[in-house]
Every structure is written in structure tokens, then in C-alpha cells.
């Protein structure tokens, strides 16, 4: 189950921002504005956002096995990208991926809760997030070179084709949770509201949304910014931007180990918030290549270090159930998806209005400060490690 979960998150990472480095090619082929091009990155996030809470309730109803299978198939639809003759068809394929993203993420929480201990869940959340980051890094760094060898739509299809293999493997080897209370079951609207109003849940949701606004905006538009203002080729710009998720691989691994060594985990969110803010400013304000690399490393660390703890803290809530956890993950997808949808469009619209990407970048960087909220205001009962040593 661990291997299948990691594979799902790798494919999720492939589709998340893989199209960003080749957006200029999509603009040229389909005759798009900057705002429309941003939809290819952001609209799947909006669909995932709209489906987040209902998706969590669906997972509770039909179970992990069916939810994961549907998620795998939806993500694999990107394998058809090479057939997309126009913007509408390509956008439809990206929307199917967004549906798959929502189902995979919301069903992963109950899966881990049922199959692993709480300490193992933190490690698995770390590994899953590292795998997403690795998938994003490989896709962002490899999309432009693959597009040069074939074409940009074929490159997107190659990433999506991995999902076809995963869907078959899950169909053969996927399992529902072994514990009785993790079996499919309805969750009432009243119970859903009670779970989602918890102070811890609200703080974690705001943290993730704020950081992801900046991360999505920069991952989506930095290749274009570097190509136009730092005299980099699209391939070179994609490699630099690909450092963000690559650094994230190591950041989330550290985020799955270091918090267990301290009595409180609030510092995790403070460090992430400061690093994300400073690194975010540096990647587009520092002119030299060396400075860009340093800022990219700091930004990548801050944007990923907090994630394993973010996904694990809901398990410390009183009377949490697998069904409630699925709904919490659904709310995270909803709020973060809205943020990720808005961010590339905001930057693209600001560019269309002002002729510059910088105003949109600055607004998104300011929003990443929400990570500090969790650092200062998380309740003690969930922010302290019972096994800290």
C-alpha cells in the first residue's frame, strides 16, 4: 500500500505544473492571452477546490479503494494530450486531472490512518509529499527538453501515460482499509461542520492556502519571467524553476523527521513562513544567476518543509475518524485549490494590465505570510509532541 500511495503522488506531481514551462508554446499554437494560458495551470485547481469537501464525503461513502481507482483513471486522461486540437480540449483534459487530484488527496488521509501508526503517518506524509515534489521537479525540468525532442503536447502525454500503468496496478493490488471504523460510511453535514470549525483546521487551511498562492504563481510564471527578463531559454528557465520542487524533496523529508525531536511543532510553520517570504522576493528581484539559485533554494525549502506536519496534525484532533479526516483534507483542497486557481490568473491579469509580472508576484508573496499564523496560534494540545525526545 505504501508503494502504491507513493506512485499516485508521483503521477500527481507530474500533472501539477508540468505544463508551465511550455505555456509560451501553448500560447503560440492556440493564440491565447496570458490570462487564458494561466487557466491551463489554475483551472484544474479550481475544479479540485470545488470538489474538495464533496469529494471527502464521497470518499467516506464509497471507500478508499474505489476513490483511489477513480483518481488514478482521471489523472491518466492527460495521456490523451497529444490528440488535443484546440484549447478547449486541452483544458478539458487538465480538468479531468484536477478531479483525480482531489480524489487521490482526500482518500490518502483515511488510507494512511487505517494502515499506519501516527508516527508512521508523519513519515508517510513526508514521503508522499517528497514524491509529489519529485514529480513536479521532473516534469518542470523535463517538459521543455521533451517538447524540443517531440512537441509540447506529446510531452504532456508522456507524463500522463504513467497514470495508466498506475491505474492498472491499483486495480490489481489496491485494498480498502483493514479497520472496521475505516470502512465506507456516511458522514452527516452536522458532523462535517463540527470537524471543519476546529481552530486547528482553520489555521492549517489558511497556512497552506497562503503558501500555495505564491508557490503556484511563481512556478507557473517564473519560466516566462526568466525567458523574457533574464535572457534564459525556456529549457534553462524550466531547470531553474524545477529547483523549487527538487529542494522540496529534501525539505519535506526533513519536515518528517526534525519535528519529532522537539516538544512543539509551531517553529516548523514559523521557519517555513520566513523562508517562503524571503525566498519568494529573491527569485524575481535578485538579478544575478547565483542569487537566483540561492533564493530558489530558500523558497523551495520554505514552501515544502511544513507540509508533512500540516497533513499529520489533524490526526491529533479529539475523536477524529477516517471519515472526518477525509473531509478535512477535502477542505484543504478546496481552499488551497481556490488559491492556486486565482494565483496564476492574478499574475497574468496584472501583466495584461501593467505590462509587468512583478505586481502580481509581490501580491502573492505577501500572502505567503499566513504560515506564521499557525506558528503563533496553534493550540497546545495539537502542537506539542507527545513523543518528543
Q: pLDDT digits over 316-355, tens only? A: 777 777 777 778 888 888 888 788 778 888 888 888 888 8
pLDDT of 14 strictly over 70? yes
Residue 148: is it exposed, middle or buried by C-beta count within 10 angstroms (0-12/13-18/19+)?
middle
d(CA 311, CA 171): 26
Q: Which helix (H) or strand (E) holds 337?
A: helix 322-354
270 near 375, Cβ under 8 Å?
A: yes
Q: pLDDT digits over 29-49, tens only? A: 888 877 788 788 878 877 888
CATH of the domain at 63: 1.20.1250.20
pTM of the entire predicted model: 0.72
Q: Who contacts 116 (Cβ-Cβ below 8 Å, separation ≥6)?
A: 124
Residue 128 lies in a domain: yes
pLDDT value of residue 388: 36
Location of C-alpha cell 483515511: 110
Q: pLDDT digits over 205-221, tens only? A: 888 889 989 998 898 78
244 against 215, higher pLDDT: 215
Q: Cα-flanking dihedrals φ and ψ of residue 33, to 5°?
A: -80, 170
Q: pLDDT digits over 110-125, tens only? A: 788 777 777 788 788 8
pLDDT value of residue 183: 55
Burial 120-131, CB ≥16 within 10 A → b, else e: ebbbbbbbbbbb
Residue 389 lies in a domain: no
Structural domain span for residue 44: 2-383
Residue 49 lies in a domain: yes
How confident is residue 56, by pLDDT bands cut at 50, 70 and 90?
confident
pLDDT value of residue 295: 93
C-alpha cell at 262: 522537539
Residue 37 lies in a domain: yes
Residue 388 lies in a domain: no
pLDDT of 245 strictly over 50? yes
In 3D space, the residue among 95, 104, 97 whose CA is nearest the CA of residue 69 turns out to be: 104
What single string gives the DSSP state of each residue in 47-71?
HHHHHHHHHHHHHHHH-HHHHHHHH
Angle made by CA atoms 114, 316, 129, in degrees to the nearest 5: 65
Residue 284 lies in a domain: yes
- State how far Cα 324 lies from the chain centre: 21
Angle made by CA atoms 345, 349, 351, in degrees to the nearest 5: 120
378 against 388, higher pLDDT: 378
In 3D space, the residue among 337, 345, 324, 332 whose CA is nearest the CA of residue 50 turns out to be: 337
Q: Who contacts 142 (Cβ-Cβ below 8 Å, separation ≥6)?
A: 155
Q: What's the average model confidence in pLDDT over 51-75?
A: 83
Number of domains in the chain: 1
C-alpha cell at 380: 497546545
Amino acid at each position: 500500500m505504501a508503494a502504491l500511495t507513493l506512485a499516485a503522488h508521483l503521477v500527481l506531481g507530474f500533472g501539477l505544473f508540468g505544463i508551465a514551462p511550455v505555456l509560451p508554446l501553448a500560447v503560440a499554437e492556440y493564440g491565447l492571452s496570458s490570462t487564458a494560458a494561466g487557466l491551463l495551470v489554475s483551472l484544474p485547481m479550481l475544479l479540485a477546490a470545488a470538489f474538495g469537501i464533496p469529494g471527502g464525503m464521497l470518499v467516506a461513502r464509497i471507500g478508499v479503494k474505489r476513490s483511489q481507482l477513480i483518481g488514478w483513471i482521471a489523472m491518466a486522461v492527460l495521456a490523451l494530450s497529444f490528440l488535443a486540437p484546440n484549447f478547449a480540449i486541452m483544458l478539458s483534459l487538465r480538468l479531468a486531472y484536477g478531479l483525480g487530484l482531489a480524489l487521490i488527496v482526500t482518500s490518502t488521509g483515511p488510507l494512511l490512518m487505517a494502515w499506519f501508526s501516527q508516527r508512521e503517518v508523519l513519515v508517510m506524509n513526508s514521503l508522499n509529499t517528497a514524491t509529489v515534489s519529485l514529480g513536479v521537479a521532473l516534469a518542470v525540468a523535463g517538459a521543455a527538453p521533451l517538447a524540443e525532442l517531440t512537441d509540447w503536447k506529446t510531452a504532456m502525454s508522456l507524463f500522463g501515460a504513467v497514470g495508466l500503468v498506475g491505474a492498472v496496478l491499483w486495480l490489481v493490488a489496491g485494498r480498502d482499509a483493514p479497520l472496521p471504523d475505516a470502512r465506507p460510511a456516511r458522514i452527516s453535514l452536522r458532523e462535517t461542520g463540527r470537524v471543519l470549525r476546529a481552530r486547528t483546521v482553520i489555521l492549517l487551511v489558511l497556512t497552506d492556502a497562503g503558501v500555495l498562492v505564491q508557490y503556484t504563481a511563481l512556478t507557473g510564471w517564473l519560466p516566462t519571467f526568466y525567458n523574457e527578463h533574464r535572457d534564459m531559454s525556456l529549457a534553462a528557465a524550466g531547470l531553474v524553476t524545477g529547483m523549487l520542487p527538487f529542494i522540496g524533496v529534501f525539505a519535506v523529508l526533513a519536515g518528517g523527521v526534525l519535528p519529532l525531536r522537539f516538544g512543539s511543532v509551531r517553529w516548523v510553520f514559523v521557519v517555513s513562513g520566513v523562508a517562503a517570504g524571503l525566498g519568494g522576493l529573491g527569485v524575481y528581484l535578485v538579478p544575478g544567476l547565483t542569487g537566483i539559485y540561492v533564493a530558489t533554494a530558500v523558497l523551495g525549502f520554505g514552501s515544502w518543509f511544513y507540509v508533512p506536519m500540516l497533513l499529520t496534525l489533524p490526526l491529533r484532533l479529539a475523536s477524529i475518524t477516517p471519515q472526518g479526516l477525509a473531509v478535512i483534507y477535502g477542505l484543504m483542497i478546496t481552499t488551497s485549490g481556490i488559491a492556486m486557481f486565482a494565483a496564476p490568473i492574478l499574475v497574468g491579469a496584472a501583466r495584461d494590465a501593467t505590462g509587468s509580472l512583478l505586481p502580481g508576484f509581490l501580491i502573492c508573496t505577501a500572502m505567503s505570510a499566513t504560515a506564521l499564523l499557525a506558528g503563533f496560534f496553534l493550540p497546545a494540545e495539537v502542537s506539542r509532541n507527545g513523543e518528543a525526545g
